[in-house]
Every structure is written in C-alpha cells, then in structure tokens.
Amino acid sequence: MKKWVYASLSVLMIGGIMNSPSMVSAADGDPLQDGKSYVLKTWSTIGIPGFQYYGFVTKQVSLGADVKRWEFLRLTNSASEKGTPVTLEKDSNNDCWRMKMSSPYWSGYDYITRSGKNNLYLDTKSESTCWQINNGNQEGYRTKIHEYGSNQYWDKNYATNWMETGDIEAIYVNFLPAP
C-alpha cells in the first residue's frame, strides 16, 4: 500500500513539474496567461523567514563581453522605481514561455535571453531563451524561473543588481499584473 501511495504521489509531483507553466499563477490568483503583461518583483531565497525584497526587474543598456552594446536585465535601485512590463508568450512546442519586454532600446531586440556568460539580456525572438516557470507552492509567489532543459535559474549578481543565471541559488519572482 505504501509503495502505491508513494508511486502515485511521485507521478503527481512529476506531472506538476512537467506542466509547470500552466500551473503557476499570478499574484491576482489567475493562471499566467499567454499574451498578458506582468511586472516581475524579486525576493531572496536566502534568509527565510520574511524574504528580503530585491526590486523589480527592468533593463539598462551596457557594454557586453563581445564589446557590443546590449540591453541587460537588472533590478531597480529604489522602491519608487517600477519594473519594465514583460509579456508572456507560450511556446507550445517546448512547454515553456518566451518573455518579451516592453519598450526596448533597439527595435526587435526585446526577448529575455541567457548569454553564454549567464547574463540576462534582450535579443531577437529567434535567439531568445525559452523559460520554465516553477510554482513555489504559493499561487504566484515564490516562483522560480529557469532555462528550459537546464538547471540555470534566475539569480542576481549580489555585488551589482544585474540579473544572471546560476545553478546553485535562485531568486523568487512574483508575477504582478502590469498596470
């Protein structure tokens, strides 16, 4: 009997992970929706209880490792600075999401992408990263984002507020409906 219960729970848990993009909810209680815009508010996974607030996700033009200028993701520097809206686009071929930021500096370069150096920046849709959004056991809260097919989770550079990916720690992200 115990083996059957454990096997059933394992199947349910794996099924929940495999279908995570449709299970995650926004802070308003609605499931994340294809074509809907959100602002992303971040929290630390370290220092439970209370969770340290980091900021909203936004973008800034800077020089990349390839000595070209790109729009990189960073966290806001103050509580009064709001994040840049992100529109979710469901990729039904891979069961993941593409994230399109509003108002890019360069037209057509508006999709969140992971670089070879683990930085998050804006590129074209064809070069963009497909992201899986994992529910953090509270509807729309304590959600983690990682690259489809990898263990590269969204994180922040703790010295600078620039967004990056890593496989050790992750930050929590709340999807708040864009105003």
d(CA 141, CA 49) in angstroms, rounded, equals 14
Average pLDDT over residues 145-154: 91
Residues linked to residue 99 through DSSP beta bridges, in sequence order: 88
- Looking at the structure of the chain, the number of domains it has is 1
Q: Domain of 92: which CATH number?
A: 2.80.10.50
Question: Does pLDDT of 153 surpass 80?
Answer: yes
pTM: predicted TM-score of the whole model, two decimal places = 0.75
CB 61 within 8 A of CB 69: yes
* pLDDT at residue 12, rounded to an integer: 35
The model's pLDDT over 77-122, given as tens digits with 9 standing for 90+, comes to 776 778 899 999 999 888 899 999 999 889 999 999 999 999 999 9
How many CB atoms neighbour CB 148 within 10 A? 16
Higher pLDDT, 1 or 92: 92
* Full residue range of the structural domain in which residue 123 is found: 2-177
Q: Token digits for 36?
A: 């809907």
Using CA atoms, how far apart are residues 21 and 89, in angstroms rounded to an integer? 11
When pLDDT is cut at 50, 70 and 90, the band that residue 9 belongs to is very low
Smallest CA-to-CA distance from 105 within 81, 121, 119, 89 is with 121
